Structure 1
Amino acid sequence: MNKSPWKTVRLEKVAEIQTGISKSASRKLTDPIEVPYLRVANVQDGHLDLSVIKHISIERKNLERYTLKTGDVLLTEGGDFDKLGRGTVWNNEIESCVHQNHVFSVRTDASVLLPEFLSILTASSYGKRYFISCSKQSTNLASINSTQLKQFPVLLPSLDVQKSIVSASKLWDNAIERTEALIAAKEKQFEWLTSNLINRDGHKRTSASGLMTEVSKRNKNSTIERVLSVTNHSGFVLPEEQFERRVASANVSNYKVVEQGQYAYNPSRINVGSIARLDDWENGILSPMYVVFKLDTKKVCSDYFLHWLNSSEARQRIKNSAQGSVRETVSFKDLGAIDIPLPAMDVQKDVTYKLNLAQKEISLLKKTLEQYRSQKRGLMQKLLTGEWQVSSSQPVAENMYQEASA
């Protein structure tokens, strides 16, 4: 497993590992004290989500033992594979905070092992491989216990090398955080722009029914094999990409055909945003439960309609339509009853141009974000295997950042 030139030591040799407090510990207390309680949901990969903090009562005499201290490395036990070995470094964000029994705290001997370096190591492919190998040996398919964590083989370069790797990682983290913040700001701006351009006062409104025609073409003789589904986060997707397997009946001759440029939705999931236009494939087939429709492009620009469909106003009106149904479904007739702001075609095209431009900027930023994340993963892999050597601190890290991001 270790391709690094550095020696490895068991984690228990260079750190103390503390398990957390179970909820049952809050029963029958003689001298209770209520304190903040860190849970698995709070510990993400590389950061903390402190939006919701629970509290727990513990024995006052145990407070010192379980209270998190600055520099403690937090690692999640598991439960699901996405929660396995998730972690970050605690910086005393909340005073007198303890942690639950499904979160480990690791207190390193900082004279030989920096907590930030350990956090990078456990989050790397090297660390993830170890946790997955441990989980396969467990009765729970996605968990690691304290004994296995104690045996974690820590790569142990000199403190100078650790500092340099931590410094390089922080440069990428800063770039990633800035880009994430910029994307969030641009998306908020885009939502305002959509509302301002489409839903502005003075635009004539018309029922969507006059713009749409339902399509019920069937896959006779099963000539089309590409089965699709519609999600609220990625639009049209191949089910095998979402569920890791093909999800369809053996006989797909009754499936509905959807062609490029047409729209489709599941009447039972449109209220959560599962409606989209087919852009990435020439055609596909959908379960018979789906509604497929096309637009009259002489009356409405398809991009304009798509932007309206994704607007907060349209989402809310669709949700309201579903609430009137026993099963919270939206039929094609229900969707057609919603009115849409519809200015002249030249205005629609002008609005579309501006919104497409803003959307493209967000798309480019998201690609940049993925490149930063990929570059960081690649960099950490090379540094932790020793393929790229570092000797001392900041200037080296800065040079590597400039070369990789150029």
Structure 2
Amino acid sequence: MSNWPIMPLIEAADIASGITLGRKTKETDLFTVPYLRVANVQDGHLDLDEIKQIEVTRSELNKWRLAAGDLLLTEGGDLDKLGRGTCWREELPLCIHQNHIFRVRLELDTHDPEFVAYQVGSDYGKAYFLKHAKKTTGIASINKKVLSVFPLISPPLKEQRQIAACLKAQLAEVDKARQAAEAQLRETTKLADAIVFGSIRSGKTTKHNLGEVLQEVKRGIGDSWADYPVLGATRDGLAPAKEPPGKKPERYKPVFPGTVFYNPMRILIGSIALVDDDDTPGITSPDYVALQGRSGMVDSRWFYYWLRSPLGEQCILSLARGAVRERMLFNRLAEGEIELPDYDVQVKASAALAALKPMRHAIESKINDINILPQKILAQAFEM
């Protein structure tokens, strides 16, 4: 590869940024068309779940209309958005792009769009953008000048197509492996739900308000706050918090083994966590709701999986008042109803649920390893 010629990208392509949102026009003959935002352009693929529309003039439509093979690259923002991109494959019959996305239209008789897209998305490409980007705290961006002089590795077109086809096949196999592992992870969730449902159906149950069988953790950790990691709750469960303690760290709540806690602003999307017996004790934001099952009434692990199951989701939704960003504090959750099996039945189910944890961790570790493979494959292809 070191013998292949390298040229500035501008010598092989026409580079243009897209339409500026909110610009004014005096023309009245306008067309409503879909446009791509930064959120639509991901690393190696497009996310077209939400496509917005804009009114444009005929000249604007002709200027920014995307064509098959156009390479779309984001100018930046967060570091992970820097130079992020993929090829346009006419996923929509008509589409343009906004000004924070660069459109790179290659000379197709000399350069293969897939080959260039893989090259830009490799460590080789990312290293160039990181080196030449304009940076502020946590934010980076590139401009047209930086993109224009990108050092494009340019083997003969036939070799470009061969390399692109090989990489496409390898990445497709990686994607198959990822999908298989993610399916395994979903099966463990279904199994957890089945264990919870089975415990409820196995014998006598009693109905309670949640406030009767749970107790809230209200008191802060105090002066020993620095001895513990700060923990957060995500849709995947327990995770290190993104932010360090605030101005009053002594008010952070202790979340020790047997504690369930959740983000009251995000419980509707499942941001709920459990500190299990083998987890490191920690503290969490005083804005979070932390709770434990009352002794001899509710096994906390069983309750955690119940809360994340369809039964728990149904309970949460029944308490919601329809606001997009409402806070569900403990006093609201306490109004919900739960059908409790005998405590001994909960404990037995809880042991079965605990056995799922190492299985999930093994699958999650496998997924993490798989997610690293695409960059390894691309790095080997474009190693200089």
Q: Counterpart in 2 of 1:378?
A: 376
TM-score normalised by the chain length of structure 2: 0.80
Q: Counterpart in 2 of 1:229?
A: 231
Q: Counterpart in 2 of 1:262?
A: 259
Q: Relative to structure 2, which stretch is displaced further, 310-319 or 175-184?
A: 175-184
Number of aligned residue pairs: 378
- The Cα shift of 1:87 comes to 0.7
Q: Counterpart in 2 of 1:204?
A: 205
Match of 1:278 among 272, 275, 279: 275
- The Cα shift of 1:75 comes to 0.9
> Matched residues in 2 for 1:363 and 1:139: separation?
33
Sequence identity percentage: 34
Relative to structure 1, is the Cα distance of residues 235 and 100 closer, same or farther in structure 2, using a 3 angstrom cutoff? same
Q: Counterpart in 1 of 2:115?
A: 117
> Matched residues in 2 for 1:324 and 1:372: separation?
39
> Matched residues in 2 for 1:30 and 1:218: separation?
62
Which amino acid counterpart does residue 212 of structure 1 have in structure 2? L
1:2-401 to 2 correspondences below 5 Å: 4-23=2-21, 27-29=25-27, 31-61=29-59, 63-136=61-134, 141-182=139-180, 185=183, 198-199=196-197, 202=201, 204-207=205-208, 208-215=210-217, 219-222=221-224, 225-239=227-241, 242-243=242-243, 246-249=244-247, 252-267=249-264, 270-279=267-276, 281-296=279-294, 298-321=296-319, 323=321, 328-344=326-342, 347-348=345-346, 363-386=361-384
TM-score normalised by the chain length of structure 1: 0.77
Question: Is contact 2:69-2:88 (8 Å) kept?
Answer: yes
Question: Is contact 1:169-1:376 (8 Å) kept?
Answer: no
Question: Is contact 1:254-1:288 (8 Å) kept?
Answer: yes
Residues 186-242 of structure 1, C-alpha deviation per residue, up to 9 Å, x if partnerless? 566566655555357856243244543444565455275224132233544443xx1
Question: Is contact 2:14-2:104 (8 Å) kept?
Answer: yes
> Matched residues in 2 for 1:109 and 1:158: separation?
13
**1:285 aligns to what SS in structure 2?**
strand
Relative to structure 1, is the Cα distance of residues 286 and 6 closer, same or farther in structure 2, using a 3 angstrom cutoff? same
Q: Relative to structure 2, which stretch is displaced further, 353-362 or 162-171?
A: 353-362
Which amino acid counterpart does residue 257 of structure 1 have in structure 2? P
**2:11 aligns to what SS in structure 1?**
helix
Which amino acid counterpart does residue 93 of structure 2 have in structure 1? E
Relative to structure 1, is the Cα distance of residues 333 and 97 closer, same or farther in structure 2, using a 3 angstrom cutoff? closer
- The Cα shift of 1:106 comes to 1.1
> Matched residues in 2 for 1:217 and 1:144: separation?
48
Which amino acid counterpart does residue 230 of structure 2 have in structure 1? L
Residues 89-148 of structure 1, C-alpha deviation per residue, up to 9 Å, x if partnerless? 111111132222222221222333221111112112222222233332799953222222
> Matched residues in 1 for 2:206 and 2:281: separation?
32
Give the superposed CA RMSD: 3.7
Unmatched runs of 5 consecutive residues or more in structure 2: none
Q: Counterpart in 2 of 1:403?
A: none
Question: Is contact 2:225-2:249 (8 Å) kept?
Answer: no
> Matched residues in 2 for 1:197 and 1:140: separation?
43
> Matched residues in 2 for 1:98 and 1:290: separation?
43
